[in-house]
Each structure stands twice: as structure tokens, then as C-alpha cells.
A and B are shown apart, each in its own frame.
Chain A
Amino acid sequence: MAFRLSPLALLLLVSCATPSSAPSRGGATEGKPAPVARMDGEQDGKLRIIAFGAHPDDCEWAEGGVGAKWAALGHHVKFVSCTNGDIGHWGMAGGPLAKRRAAEIKKCGEILGTEALALDIHDGELMVTMENRRTICRLIREWKADLVISHRPNDYHPDHRYVGVLVMDAAYMVTVPFFCPDTPHLTKNPVFLFSEDEFRRPNPFTPDIAVSVDDVIEKKLAAMEALESQFYEGGCNGGPHLVPDPKDPAAVAARKKQVRGEFEEYFSGPTTRHRGALGKYYGAEAAGKVRFAEAFEICEYGRRPTPEEILKLFPFFPAK
């Protein structure tokens, strides 16, 4: 039985953020809101992207590819899991699982070149509250995000839906100086995007942007392998039958191969579904050769990027 850590202590423990990105509170002087955040890549000319997933694996799964692509070009990417994933396994739960999953996403971050953070909110219990809205607002502001990615509010998992709602509720509000006045506001509403889902009601996902991740697929697959509790071990719907004897290298290798194979198939889905969107950005011929892709929808509540701005935010497409 572990000591009960205070929520703050646990948050710091699971936070994989480097010290340099720690928040600076108390910047507000009497009567004035905190100083305006420096925008649009600070002094280093790099993009700043923050993604919110529900569980410690959602961001890696949905935008791990573009995350690695941005990171490879020196852009700053942060993946936030809005819950700690502490019921996401068939045999482990609570604090021990939360810690394990925090370690997994830290490892993913190392593989992809991104930062990882898990909030200390129980898996399966994310609600739309003012407190959660403020948390998300502060995270977006502290990251000085140009671009925010999250779930759509239609999805089979309530945590996914409520991340979508909470991030939408933070859109625009991040620019309001006296909302969470302790954290410098953004002068520009970031561009907000939704990651892909398969749900059609009340309306289907629209692939406004599609990106080939062929050049980073090995990293993405390595990240899926690092998310051992979720995929290799099967997560909350798995069971002991899925997990081979760790002392049997052949069985372990076979299981890893199986998981990898499943992901290769899964990550090639967007390519087939969104050949048209890929064609828009890569040209039809190149689009035809893409194997693995990620797709995104522009959220109406963020800043609407012009076509030129999309190309700046996604500096991956060939010049036309």
C-alpha cells in the first residue's frame, strides 16, 4: 500500500515536462493582467504545438506521426493526457498503473522528440468543469501554442468526448486577459484541429488536412511498442492470455510482431480513406505512393488558417 501523494505532488511526479517549461505564476501586478505572452515561436522561429488526448496513448496514436515530423524540424510539441489512465488495464489500476503509463508516455516522448504530460485526473472520470477548463487554458497559454489538437466531441469514449468539449471551451478564452488572469493570455487564438475519428453522428469527421507519416512510421510504431500496458498487454480489455512468458524470447517477439502488424494496418487506414485530401497537398501521384497518414479537421472555434498558413503550420508538403 503506497502513501497517498497529494494531487500536486503526483502531478509533478507524472509530469514529464522539462523544468524550463514550468509555469511562471504570479506575473500579474495589481490592476493589470499578467504580461502578454510572446507569440508565434518566441525568438526561435519554431512552431509550438500542443495536443490533448484523453489517456496516455491517445496523442501518440492520433498525432504521433506529425509530432515526430515537427520535432525533427526543431518545432516544439507537447502531448498532454487529460487523465492519468489509471483504469486502463485488465490487471493493474490506480496509482501504480498511472505511474507506469506516465513512464510509457515519457518513453514515447523520447522516441518522437516530443514532451509528455499526464494530468492527475482519474481515467473514466473526466468531467466538463470550470476547473478543468482553466487547467486546459493555462496549459495552452503556458505552451504559447500556435496550434492545438484534440478529440472531436463525438466518440465512443466519454473521456475523449469531454476532452473535445473542454478544449473547445478553452478556445478563444485563451485570448481573454482576465480569464485566468494569473497566466499571460495569447494575443492570437491558436488554430484548433481535431484528430480523426470514425463517427458519423451527428456529423462525420472532415479531413481538412492529411499528412503522410511514412518517413516517421518507424518512430510511431516504436512508440506504440513502448505503450506496453495498452497494446502489447492489451489495456483494459486485455487479459493474461495475451501476454507471453517474458522468458520466452520467441513468444515475446511474435507478440510484438503481431501488435506492430495491427498498427501497420491501422495507420494505413487514413491513407486509403483520405487519398483525396492527400492529393490536395502532395499531388495525386505522390499521394498514390503514401502508405501511412494522419488526418485532421479544422475546428471552427479556433483561428481559421488560410491555405498559406496551413502550409506554414504543416511544413511537410512539397512546394507547388
Chain B
Amino acid sequence: MSRIAWSLGLWMALAGCATSTGDVSPMKAPLPAPAQLPQDGKLRIIAFGAHPDDCELREGGAAVKWAALGHHVKFVSCTNGDIGHWNMAGGPLAMRRAAEVKQTSKLLGISHEVLDIHDGELMVTMENRRTICRLIREWKADLVISHRPNDYHPDHRYVGVLVMDAAYMVTVPFFCPDTPYLTKNPVFLFSEDAFQRPNPFTPDIAVAIDDVIEKKLAAVEALHSQFFEGGANGHAGLVPDPNDAEKVAARKKVVRENFSKRFAATATKHRAALEAYYGKDEAAKVGFAEAFEICEYGRRPAPDEIRKLFPFYTK
């Protein structure tokens, strides 16, 4: 680059850094702006799952309940799920699964996004940390939900790690300075899992989802590639002839029953946690539930704040 061009460039850069007074001292530079929070009095919840189905399975019920009260919920799938089927993969599967979560989001009444990262290949990188940080900030989240970092699936574990790595950092103005920072660290929660090592899941919060179980099961049904067709571990034998209405209905019924059982198991397992929020009598009647653990790296909600974030309890 010619000397003149270089000098000119430097001069222009200096001018660009100057305030109107021509002062370029760092303390006079414009401060990064905090995120402007909407004033509609509604909660803003963002959940991160590894694949286009994880959020739906783990917090789909709570999502419907929040949405029904006008709160803003977003589900983010951190991979595109493109190896999550026994017969289809790559772009076509990614597109198919994107369509599935578009459908489930309509059913649940929420927003969603699918990141274009290959299924099975989610790694803990600075780039991914920034992506998650920006998503949390852009959503202006009060509450963030994700996986614990203990889980059979590496993608689940690394979503857990990445979201923990974004906790607190979302409040640091000069981290990803292109995206307005949050003035309050959101509350971070982990969704339920069954793993015991190195430490088991703790049900700090449990939510009855009986009133919305039909919508959750409808979402499960809409995730056709994963459950009806069996996903990555499925096989042709699982999938009936689409023209055989009886067999199709039977298969749908099997899927529905499996998931009903799974969602009911949470209620049984975490009855004590339900009692803490619903009282013994009401908790005893709960058929289906979702449970969450408070992550130590987010803001620690006081008991009354938990009730504000989960405006579902009668007690």
C-alpha cells in the first residue's frame, strides 16, 4: 500500500475514533449500550437443546404454559440434526427436521431457531460460545434452559458446557460488543436427566403439565422423523405403510404411550418437588410433569422469584 494511502487511512481511522470534540481518549468513547428490555411485563425464556426435538421433549410443556400467558419463549436447536435418522441424512434431513420444529413451534405457540451445525459435531469453541451469547442477549432472556453437562450424548453435554460458558459473559459489555449486553445475568436452569455421575440431577423446580399434555404429545407426534420413524436408531420395520390407516394409527398410539409414560415418570420421580410448589394434595394428583435444576452460574433466584418465573403455582 502506498505511503500516502497508508497515511490517509491512518488519519481517517483516527478521525473515525474521535468524538465530535476530536478527543480519542478511551474514557470518552461511547459506552456499549445495554439491551433495551421490552416493557410488556412478560417473561422472556430461551431454551437450548442439542437437536431439533430436545427442547420440545424437555420443556415443551412449560413452554406452552408460558406462551398461553403471553410470555415469550424461544427454542434453539444447537445442531441441525442431520444424522438423526436411520435412512435420511445431510441437508434433506436437516430441512425435514427444520420443518418439524417449525410445526411444533406453531403447536406450542413459541419462536424457534435451528443452528446450522452438524449433528454429532458440536464442539466447545469460542465461535459457538459467541453464537449462544448473542442468542441469549438478542432474546433479552430472563431465563435460560439447557442440558446438564452429564448425559449420554456428546451434543447434549457440549450444549450444557457452551451455555454455562455463556452464563455471566452475557453481562460483560465488551464481550461480543456488537450485541447489547444484559444488565442482569439471567437465571440458568438445567432440564431433567437421569444420570448419576459425577452427581445426580436435582429437581429444584417441578411443573405440572397435565393441562397442556395434549399439546406436548401433539408436538411429539409432529417430530415424525424422530419418534414415529425411530430417528437414528430406527429401522424400516418400525414404519408402517402410510396407506394402511390402521397400522399408522397403531404406531402413533405406541409412540404416544411411550412418551406419556416418560412424562408421567417425571411426576412420580419428583413428587416431593411438586409438593413443595403445589402442596401435598394437588401434587398427588399430578399426572405429568417437567423438572429443572438451578445452575449455579446464573443468577440465583429467591423462592419468590422462582414463582414469578414459573407463574403456574396456586399455593
Contact = CB atoms under 8 A, between A and B. Distances in A.
A and B touch in the complex (CB under 8 A): yes
Interface of A: 1, 86-94, 96-97, 123-125, 127, 154-158, 199-203, 236-237, 240
Contacts of B236: none
A91 B173 CA distance: 9
30 contacts: A1-B13, A1-B17, A87-B172, A87-B175, A87-B177, A90-B32, A91-B26, A91-B29, A91-B31, A93-B174, A96-B26, A97-B26, A124-B172, A127-B124, A127-B125, A127-B126, A154-B296, A156-B167, A156-B296, A156-B297, A157-B168, A157-B169, A158-B165, A158-B169, A200-B296, A201-B296, A202-B150, A202-B198, A236-B172, A237-B171
A86 B26 CA distance: 13
Contacts of B173: 87, 90, 93, 236
Contacts, number: 66
Contact of A202 (B29, B164, B199): B199
A92 B26 contact: yes
Nearest to A236: B172
The main secondary structure of chain A at its interface with chain B is: loop
Contacts of A202: 150, 198-199
Interface residues of B, number: 30
A290 B14 CA distance: 55
Given A202-B199, A203-B198, A93 B169 contact: no
Nearest to A124: B175
A203 B150 CA distance: 14
Interface of B: 10, 13-14, 17, 24, 26-27, 29, 31-32, 124-126, 129, 150, 164-165, 167-169, 171-175, 177, 198-199, 296-297
Contacts of A156: 167-168, 296-297
Contacts of A200: 296
Contact of A125 (B17, B126, B297): B126
B24 A1 contact: yes
A85 B150 CA distance: 30
Contacts of B165: 158
